[in-house]
Structures are given as structure tokens and as C-alpha cells.
């Protein structure tokens, strides 16, 4: 089989999910809102939060440190939004929260990143007048000093002792004083109020907060509120909202643990806490046409043609999650050689083979417990058909699956036709939803039997 490129889970500047309008909407909010503001981008894992955050940064500032200039230029030419639409008024800083989750005070790591990335941005300004150089150098030193003070307070490192405190500062600065000094330092670094130029603002994009341990996520949120609610700063947090609310719920004061409704009350309090901090949250949509997206990501015209009977079906046969679609595309490309290449095959046989390959790959990728049983006992297929038609089954992994509906035989018709009856509105993030139900039914109609799947059940 010829080599092929696998899709990775790395974020991308290229809009592959047609979210350009959303990118522009978030970018406009960053540029025009009244700071201080904390904005949120919510999405279940695998929906593309990091890519969207990169794209927003690229749209707003025209720069994205994670990509070289060539990639940025290609993205600017291909995507539907303007690259650098607000580069004269917004300076962006990127912060990957999970990389610093083990720090005693995550806010210190964030301030270090702000200082480091603003140092690069101000390099061109330092080539200007002597006065500008002195101002920027002083602001950077001030930011470094304030970071040390916040770090000492927040981490409470006992081994430093009273001698360190006496040497560096006589008494701890109150949070509001530190906040005022941070505002001034950042304003100077942004050269706010330069003659003839609009005031700039700092946009800090925080990614992967939901990958942090709950203690680290909660600490960063509380310290963000304490120190960085500044008139020249906008924060954008990409997160799985439920995960962050669960993290907050473990730490905020709440009812007694003995209360019958303690868990629910804490979740309500956590949601209110997050809402107070972050009052504008965009929710990433699930993929609207997952079958079509899978076809686009197969990178193989011949395989797309063989799988057209699945990819062009009106029913969604694929989880509406970009990460899961990529994984299935990789597997189908890997297994493409298992299809009979004979061009003389009758169309119905070709479609049957394509559906069998797809179904086995689907179960292999998303329901491995079921695949192990199917690999061992081919008659598991019959139980899968029964389950997709709404009947009971003794196989536990099959009983655990959720189906959007069922196919019922219509006894009023002589040919025993089936009628599809939707029974639920499935949660698109639920990994137990079995999206390939229509493929199972089509194979049942094509009179597939357990032994037909032997060429594809090779693990």
C-alpha cells in the first residue's frame, strides 16, 4: 500500500471546520469590548478549542508565535478572515496553562510569559528614541519585580524566611497596590497614549486550563481575578466549561457535606462563580456534517469513492467531533488495502464491502470492548443488528450503547420494510452514542452475515 499522511491532533491556523464567522466575532469582541474583560470559549474535548484560539490570535494580531511566518502568510491568504485586523491596537500573549500547573502560584508563570512575550514585541520600540528605551526598560524591570512580589505572597514559601522578606521588601504589598502597578507597567510596555496612535490593549489567550489539576485551575482563576482585572487587559480562556465548574466546585465554600443536595448546590455555586468571572462565553458547535468532513479528511480520492455509500448518506454515521473524525480517517486509510480492488465487482457488492470495512473500523476505533468480542465471536454482528433494531441483547458493551433511534419492521407492508423512528436527541459529546446505526441497517438489508466480516476483523 502506498504511504499516506496521517492526521495529527496538532492545532492548525487553517479553518477546516468553516468557523470563520466565529473567529471574527471573538476577534471583534477582543478589540472593541470595554476592559477589563474575561471571555471564554467552551468546547468538549476534541472540538478544536486550541485551533480556534490560534486562529483568533492570528486574525486579531497577524502573528502567532507557534507558527512561522510562511505558515501565517498561507493561512492569511486562505482563510476568510483578515490576518492582523487589529494589529495596531491589540498585542497578543499566549499562555498554555497546563504546562505550569505544578507551580505554587500559576499567576507567576503567567506574568513571566507576559513579560517574555512583551519583551519580544517591544524589541522594535527599543530601537527608537532614548526616552522610549528607558521607559520600556523600566516597565520590564517593574513587571519583573512585581512578579517576584506576587510569587512570594502567593506561594508562601516558608524556607525563604524573614531574612529574604526584609532584604527585598519591608512588608507585603496589598493586592490592589500590586494591581495598580501592574496596570502602569503594562501600559508603558504597550506604549499606550503615544502621540497620534490609539491606545493599545493586551489580549492574553489562555489554553488548556481544563487539562490542569483542579487545584491549579482554581488557583489561576482566583489569582487572575485578584491581580489582573486591569483596564488595559482582555483575557480569553479556552476551556471545557463543565470540567472547570467541577474544579471550582471542589474548592468554593458550600453547604455541609452531609446535606442531601450538597453536590448539586456546589455545582450551582461553581457555575455562578465562573459566570461572575467570565460573562461572555462562546460555545463551539459540534461538526454539522460529519460524514462530509470525514470524506474531506480521507486524503484519498479512490477511497472516498469506495465509501461514497456511507459518506453521502443523509444520516450522520460519524461522531460530530473533529478529533474522533481524524482518528477514524487515519484508520480507514490504514485499512484501505483490505477492500477488494477488483474493478469488475458489481456495485451492490462494492457498497456492501465498503460498509463492512467502515463498520468494523468504526467499532474498532470507538468501541474496543465490543470489537474484542466481535473479533473472537463473529456472531456478535447479529446481536449488533438486533440492538440497532431496538431489541435486547445479552452483550454488555452493546447494552451500554445509546442509539438516536431504531429501525422497526412495518408489518403492514408485504415486503417487511423498515421504518426509522427517532427516540432521542443524542448528546454529541457522549462517547457511547452509536452513530453508525444506519450502516448496520443497510448491511442487514444487504443480507450480510457474520462470516462476511472475516476479511476485516484482523485487528
CB-based contacts of 407, cutoff 8 Å, min separation 6? 388, 389, 390, 418, 419, 420, 421, 437, 441
**What distance in Å separates the CA atoms of residue 76 and residue 85, rounded to the nearest whole number?**
11
* Full pLDDT tens readout for the chain, 459 residues: 445 567 888 889 999 899 999 999 999 999 999 999 999 999 999 999 999 999 999 999 998 878 888 888 888 888 988 999 999 999 999 999 999 888 877 888 888 888 888 877 776 555 554 444 545 555 556 666 656 656 544 444 334 334 434 444 444 456 677 777 788 888 877 875 455 566 889 999 999 999 999 999 999 999 888 888 888 899 999 999 999 999 999 888 766 555 656 778 888 999 999 999 998 999 999 998 999 999 999 988 999 999 999 999 988 899 999 999 999 999 999 999 999 999 899 999 999 999 999 999 999 999 999 999 999 999 999 999 998 888 888 998 898 888 877 777 766 655 556 666 666 778 888 999 999 999 999 999 999 999 999 999 985
Q: C-alpha angle with apex 232: 206 to 92, nearest 5 degrees? A: 40
pLDDT at 456: 93
pLDDT at 165: 40
Nearest to 56 by CA among 34, 35, 39, 44: 39
pLDDT at 35: 92
pLDDT at 167: 47
**What distance in Å separates the CA atoms of residue 76 and residue 62, rounded to the nearest whole number?**
8
**What distance in Å separates the CA atoms of residue 314 and residue 219, rounded to the nearest whole number?**
47
3-state secondary structure 101-117: CCCCCHHHHHHHHHHHH
Chain CA centroid to CA 168, Å: 42
Pairing of strands 201-207, 233-239: parallel
pLDDT at 371: 96
What spatial distance separates the first Cα and last Cα of the chain, rounded to whole Å? 17
Q: What is the CA radius of gyration of the chain?
A: 28
Cα within 13 Å of Cα(22), Cβ side: 20
**Residue extents of the structural domains in the chain:** 20-283, 290-456
Cell numbers standing for residue 175: 493586592
**What distance in Å separates the CA atoms of residue 250 and residue 263, rounded to the nearest whole number?**
10
Chain CA centroid to CA 69, Å: 24
Sheet holding 233-239, edge to edge: 90-96, 201-207, 233-239, 37-42, 280-283
pLDDT at 195: 57
pLDDT at 66: 82
**What distance in Å separates the CA atoms of residue 377 and residue 398, rounded to the nearest whole number?**
14
CB atoms under 10 Å from CB of 404, counted, come to 17
pLDDT at 103: 81
* Contact call for residues 86 and 61 (beta carbons, < 8 A): yes
pLDDT at 191: 74
Q: C-alpha angle with apex 423: 417 to 429, nearest 5 degrees? A: 120
Compute the CA torsion angle 81, 85, 87, 93 (nearest 10 deg): -40
**What distance in Å separates the CA atoms of residue 137 and residue 129, rounded to the nearest whole number?**
12
pTM as predicted: 0.84
pLDDT at 160: 39
**What distance in Å separates the CA atoms of residue 76 and residue 10, rounded to the nearest whole number?**
19
Chain CA centroid to CA 332, Å: 24
* DSSP letter, residue 452: G
Nearest to 332 by CA among 309, 365, 373: 365
Amino acid at each position: 500500500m502506498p504511504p499516506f499522511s496521517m492526521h495529527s491532533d496538532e492545532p492548525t491556523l487553517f479553518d477546516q471546520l468553516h468557523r470563520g464567522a466565529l473567529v471574527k466575532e471573538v476577534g471583534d469582541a477582543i478589540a472593541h469590548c470595554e476592559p477589563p474583560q474575561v471571555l471564554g470559549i467552551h468546547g468538549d474535548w476534541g472540538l478544536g478549542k486550541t485551533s480556534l484560539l490560534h486562529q483568533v490570535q492570528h486574525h486579531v494580531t497577524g502573528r502567532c508565535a507557534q507558527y512561522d511566518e510562511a505558515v501565517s502568510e498561507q493561512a492569511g491568504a486562505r482563510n476568510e478572515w483578515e490576518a492582523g485586523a487589529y494589529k495596531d491596537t491589540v498585542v497578543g500573549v499566549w499562555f498554555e496553562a497546563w504546562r505550569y500547573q505544578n507551580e505554587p502560584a500559576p499567576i507567576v508563570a503567567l506574568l513571566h510569559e507576559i513579560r517574555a512575550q512583551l519583551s519580544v514585541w517591544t524589541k522594535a520600540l527599543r530601537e527608537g528614541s532614548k526616552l522610549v528605551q528607558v521607559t520600556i526598560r523600566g516597565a520590564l524591570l517593574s513587571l519583573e519585580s512585581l512578579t517576584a512580589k506576587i510569587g512570594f505572597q502567593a506561594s508562601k514559601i516558608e524556607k525563604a524566611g524573614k531574612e529574604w522578606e526584609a532584604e527585598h521588601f519591608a512588608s507585603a504589598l496589598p493586592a490592589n497596590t500590586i494591581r495598580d502597578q501592574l496596570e502602569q507597567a503594562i501600559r508603558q510596555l504597550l506604549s499606550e497614549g503615544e502621540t497620534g496612535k490609539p491606545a493599545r490593549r493586551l489580549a492574553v489567550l489562555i489554553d488548556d486550563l481544563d487539562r490542569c489539576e483542579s487545584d491549579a485551575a482554581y488557583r489561576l482563576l482566583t489569582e487572575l481575578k485578584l491581580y489582573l482585572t486591569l483596564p488595559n487587559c482582555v483575557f480569553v480562556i479556552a476551556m471545557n466549561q463543565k470540567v472547570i465548574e467541577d474544579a471550582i466546585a471542589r474548592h468554593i465554600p458550600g453547604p455541609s457535606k452531609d446535606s442531601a443536595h450538597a453536590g448539586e448546590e456546589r455545582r450551582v455555586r461553581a457555575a455562578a462563580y465562573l459566570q461572575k468571572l467570565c460573562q461572555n462565553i462562546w460555545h463551539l458547535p459540534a461538526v454539522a456534517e460529519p460524514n462530509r468532513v470525514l470524506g474531506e479528511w480521507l486524503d484519498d480520492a479512490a477511497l472516498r469513492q469506495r465509501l461514497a455509500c456511507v459518506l453521502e448518506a443523509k444520516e450522520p454515521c460519524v461522531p460530530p467531533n473533529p478529533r474522533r473524525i481524524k482518528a477514524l480517517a487515519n484508520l480507514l486509510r490504514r485499512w484501505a488495502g483490505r477492500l477488494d480492488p477488483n474493478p469488475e465487482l458489481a456495485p451492490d457488492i462494492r457498497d456492501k464491502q465498503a460498509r463492512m470495512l467502515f463498520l468494523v473500523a468504526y467499532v474498532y476505533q470507538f468501541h474496543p470492548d465490543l470489537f474484542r468480542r466481535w473479533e473472537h465471536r463473529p456472531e456478535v454482528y447479529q446481536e449488533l443488528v438486533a440492538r440497532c433494531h431496538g431489541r435486547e441483547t445479552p452483550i454488555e458493551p452493546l447494552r451500554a450503547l445509546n442509539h438516536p433511534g431504531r429501525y422497526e419492521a412495518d408489518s403492514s407492508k408485504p415486503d417487511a420494510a423498515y421504518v426509522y423512528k427517532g427516540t432521542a436527541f443524542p448528546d454529541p459529546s457522549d462517547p457511547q452514542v452509536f452513530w453508525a446505526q444506519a450502516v448496520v441497517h443497510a448491511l442487514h438489508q444487504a443480507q450480510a452475515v457474520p462470516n462476511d466480516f472475516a476479511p476485516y476483523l484482523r485487528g
